[in-house]
Chain A
Amino acid sequence: MKKKLAVWKFSSCDGCQLSLLDCEDELLTLADQLEIAYFLEASSRIQPGPYDLSLVEGSVSTPHERRAIQEIRSQSKFLVTIGACATSGGIQALRNFADVRDFLSVVYARPDYIETLDKVSPISQHVKVDFELRGCPINKRQLLEVANAFLNKRRPNIPNHSLCMECKRRGLVCVTVAHGTPCLGPVTQAGCGALCPAYNRGCYGCFGPMETPNTAALAQRLKDHGMSSQEISRVFRTFNAEAPAFKEESLRHEE
């Protein structure tokens, strides 16, 4: 009997779900091992729960989502959140730093039709999450590793250390030390394969804070490199703005 997989979407751009479809070569093998029971991005065929593995993309932004996640949790044996939205609120959590009603009146002709929550929150604030897979978007190799670990009943080999270790193992030259480029690598969790430094760009922190992020020490370094308080606040306020370590650091530099 194959294990049943469900893929759920909350407030998100769908990019992380697409990473699953992006698996291409491995997708058929994955479909051999898992029954894809609910995955609207890929198929309109829906099988009822319960599900053995639920992958949840997106953050909780509306009253409807707040109810839906409870139902999904009760239908899922293992629940894994995928991507920055699900694990830390995502880019839409930027609205947490202001009053959502101010945005509503600017964006929508009839704001009174919009039902939304005051704050955007990660899935883990609402239900128990068995594993969090970071990234904006998630890394395909890491997604397969999570599926793989689930199928082989082992812990996923997903490191929580800094991006720097991945960058150095890849033999890349440090963009901060050698070029003076601001980089969030030292406070960001590995997983993307050091994509930006490989193209001579600093890390933007897509994978969120690493296990023990010393954001204050890095912020001081960014300041030494000539960044203003506003700029420092902004670099910590992107895809993982609501992740506690990044949020606190961005607030410290807010003017």
Chain B
Amino acid sequence: MRALAKDNLSLLIQALREEGYEVLGPRMGEGAIIYGPLDSAEELPRGWIEEQEAGRYRLKRDPANRYFAFTLGPQSWKKYLHPPNLCLYKTKKTDQGLEFKSESWHKKQAFLGVRACEMEAILKQDRVFLEQLHPDKPYQERRESVFLVGVNCSRAGGACFCVSTETGPTLKSGDDITLTELEEIFLLEARSARGRAVLGRLPTEEASSHALSEAARQEEHVCRQMGRTLDTEGLAELLKNNLNHPRWKDVGDRCLTCGNCTMVCPTCFCFSVEEMTDLAGLESQRVRQWDSCFSEQFTLTSGNSQRSSAEARYRQWMTHKLATWHDQFDESGCVGCGRCIVWCPVGIDITEEAAVIREKDGASHANS
């Protein structure tokens, strides 16, 4: 474990840039912390934290003036690895027939500030896109080249529950370098060969035992601070056994079917593919974009939607995330980031819905 002076954080960004990476990280957006290109540590939202509750997010100043005291904004790294809009290939009609062309999706990017839950989300999407008979090329090309700088959280947000989902708050594996911000210094740990190479270029020194115990205390503090809890004991079976629970009707009455939860979820991967022709009928583009199980068209087959009610759609989303994801990928699809709770315009809380179903396990309603 190495120690880096706080003022030297920019050297890490510089080292990554010199290695040819485009550095992407948290920065101030329109009243929220979002991900975008970073040229230096000056652009980080230092000294900002956020208040997060169901359906509510507000930035505020933090006198501690840390670089990474904030937790999670509306965006996840999904926007780079699985972009919301992506041209898969272009087709052109020529005298010799159809000509197909696809761009390279390869991008040498470094993500700075990947939280533990976000790392777990990336690993879950890896299973979706890569651990398949036919790996997804656009995802694969980006994922293989990305450099990940993890950051252990020093605070938990109001909607965080990574302790419940065992996906945080401390990074376990998958990133190249892990940062822990302490009061005076950063702790740095390299976890890969390229991580060690970058770390080797920084003016670090061996971390003191005092710093290590500060880090341990900080981790304990974050664990105690979790804004939410989710009882995961037998949760998959519980949900599968309660498909007619009256709570689904209740949540269906509140749900806007707007799809925000799926857009902000770092593991939701659904997309649709459209063929965009040109007016002259000579060229065409195959474009894929994020889609959602909350959209009626998403389950439209033979002119009928398979899930026409809000109740059916919320149930589909939640049971997939927490129950049937296990059947599909041998694990839960939830990383406890709480984005679906915060960015739901009406503040529907997945942990609360699960708790109510557990409380009245076995209840059913006649209409379903």
A interface residues with partner B (beta carbon < 8 Å)? 26, 29-30, 32-33, 144-145, 147-148, 151-152, 154, 157, 159-162, 164-165, 168-174, 176-180, 183, 185-187, 200, 210-212, 214, 216-218, 220-221
* B274 contacts across to A, CB distance below 8 A: 157
Q: A161-B295, A171-B84 are in contact. Are A221 and B263 (CB under 8 A)?
A: no
Bound CA–CA A144/B278 (angstroms): 9
CB < 8 Å neighbour of B279 from A148, A169, A185, A200? A148
* A147 contacts across to B, CB distance below 8 A: 279
> A12 to nearest B CB, angstroms?
25
Q: A160-B296, A169-B289, A211-B296 are in contact. Are A217 and B279 (CB under 8 A)?
A: no
Contact between B57 and A169 (Cβ–Cβ < 8 Å)? no
Contact between B279 and A214 (Cβ–Cβ < 8 Å)? no
Known contacts A151-B281, A165-B292; 17 additional CB pairs below 8 A are: A26-B279, A29-B279, A145-B276, A148-B279, A152-B281, A154-B275, A159-B297, A161-B295, A162-B258, A165-B291, A168-B290, A169-B289, A169-B290, A172-B30, A183-B345, A200-B30, A214-B253
Q: Which 6 A-B pairs have the closest CB atoms?
A: A168-B263, A186-B258, A169-B84, A186-B256, A161-B295, A164-B258
CB < 8 Å neighbour of B57 from A165, A177, A183? A177
* B138 contacts across to A, CB distance below 8 A: none
Q: A160-B296, A161-B297 are in contact. Are A173 and B256 (CB under 8 A)?
A: no
Q: A173-B34, A173-B74 are in contact. Are A29 and B280 (CB under 8 A)?
A: yes
Q: Does B47 contact A (CB under 8 A)?
A: no
> A148 to nearest B CB, angstroms?
6
Q: A157-B276, A211-B296 are in contact. Are A176 and B345 (CB under 8 A)?
A: yes
* B342 contacts across to A, CB distance below 8 A: 177
Bound CA–CA A169/B287 (angstroms): 13
* B294 contacts across to A, CB distance below 8 A: 161
B interface residues with partner A (beta carbon < 8 Å)? 29-32, 34, 55-58, 73-75, 79, 84-85, 253-260, 263-264, 274-281, 289-292, 294-297, 308, 310, 342-343, 345-346
Contact between B280 and A186 (Cβ–Cβ < 8 Å)? no
Contact between A151 and B260 (Cβ–Cβ < 8 Å)? no
> B248 to nearest A CB, angstroms?
15
Bound CA–CA A168/B259 (angstroms): 9
Contact between A33 and B280 (Cβ–Cβ < 8 Å)? yes
> A180 to nearest B CB, angstroms?
8
Bound CA–CA A200/B29 (angstroms): 11
Contact between A164 and B58 (Cβ–Cβ < 8 Å)? no
* A180 contacts across to B, CB distance below 8 A: 56
* A164 contacts across to B, CB distance below 8 A: 258-260, 263, 345
* A145 contacts across to B, CB distance below 8 A: 276
> A13 to nearest B CB, angstroms?
26
Bound CA–CA A151/B275 (angstroms): 14
Q: A29-B280, A165-B259, A185-B258 are in contact. Are A173 and B296 (CB under 8 A)?
A: no
Contact between A178 and B259 (Cβ–Cβ < 8 Å)? no
Q: A162-B259, A171-B34, A211-B296 are in contact. Are A178 and B345 (CB under 8 A)?
A: no
Contact between B253 and A217 (Cβ–Cβ < 8 Å)? yes
Contact between A171 and B75 (Cβ–Cβ < 8 Å)? yes
CB < 8 Å neighbour of A178 from B32, B280, B295? B32
Contact between A214 and B74 (Cβ–Cβ < 8 Å)? no
Bound CA–CA A87/B351 (angstroms): 41
Contact between B343 and A174 (Cβ–Cβ < 8 Å)? yes
Chain A-chain B contacts (Cβ-Cβ < 8 Å), number: 141
* B291 contacts across to A, CB distance below 8 A: 165
Contact between B84 and A212 (Cβ–Cβ < 8 Å)? no
Contact between A214 and B290 (Cβ–Cβ < 8 Å)? no
Contact between A152 and B277 (Cβ–Cβ < 8 Å)? yes
Q: Which residue of B lies closest to A30 (CB)?
A: B279
CB < 8 Å neighbour of B292 from A160, A161, A212? A161
**What are 18 A-B contacts with C-beta separation under 8 Å?**
A154-B275, A162-B256, A165-B292, A168-B263, A169-B263, A171-B79, A173-B74, A174-B74, A177-B74, A177-B342, A178-B58, A178-B74, A179-B31, A186-B256, A186-B260, A187-B258, A212-B257, A216-B253
Q: Which residue of B lies closest to A216 (CB)?
A: B253
- Interface hub of A152, A177, A183, A221 (most chain B Cβ within 10 A): A177
* B253 contacts across to A, CB distance below 8 A: 214, 216-217
Bound CA–CA A26/B280 (angstroms): 10
Q: A161-B296, A174-B74, A178-B31 are in contact. Are A168 and B264 (CB under 8 A)?
A: yes
Bound CA–CA A153/B85 (angstroms): 24
Bound CA–CA A212/B313 (angstroms): 11
Contact between A214 and B58 (Cβ–Cβ < 8 Å)? no
* A154 contacts across to B, CB distance below 8 A: 275, 277
Bound CA–CA A187/B294 (angstroms): 13
Q: Which residue of A lies closest to B253 (CB)?
A: A217
* B276 contacts across to A, CB distance below 8 A: 145, 157
Contact between A218 and B256 (Cβ–Cβ < 8 Å)? yes
Bound CA–CA A152/B290 (angstroms): 25
Contact between A169 and B256 (Cβ–Cβ < 8 Å)? no
> B83 to nearest A CB, angstroms?
9
Contact between B346 and A221 (Cβ–Cβ < 8 Å)? yes
Bound CA–CA A221/B54 (angstroms): 12
Contact between A217 and B256 (Cβ–Cβ < 8 Å)? yes
Bound CA–CA A168/B275 (angstroms): 21
Q: Which residue of A lies closest to B281 (CB)?
A: A152
> B210 to nearest A CB, angstroms?
39
Bound CA–CA A218/B310 (angstroms): 14
CB < 8 Å neighbour of B345 from A151, A152, A177, A211? A177
Bound CA–CA A226/B78 (angstroms): 35
Q: Which residue of B lies closest to A187 (CB)?
A: B256
* A200 contacts across to B, CB distance below 8 A: 30-31
> A187 to nearest B CB, angstroms?
7
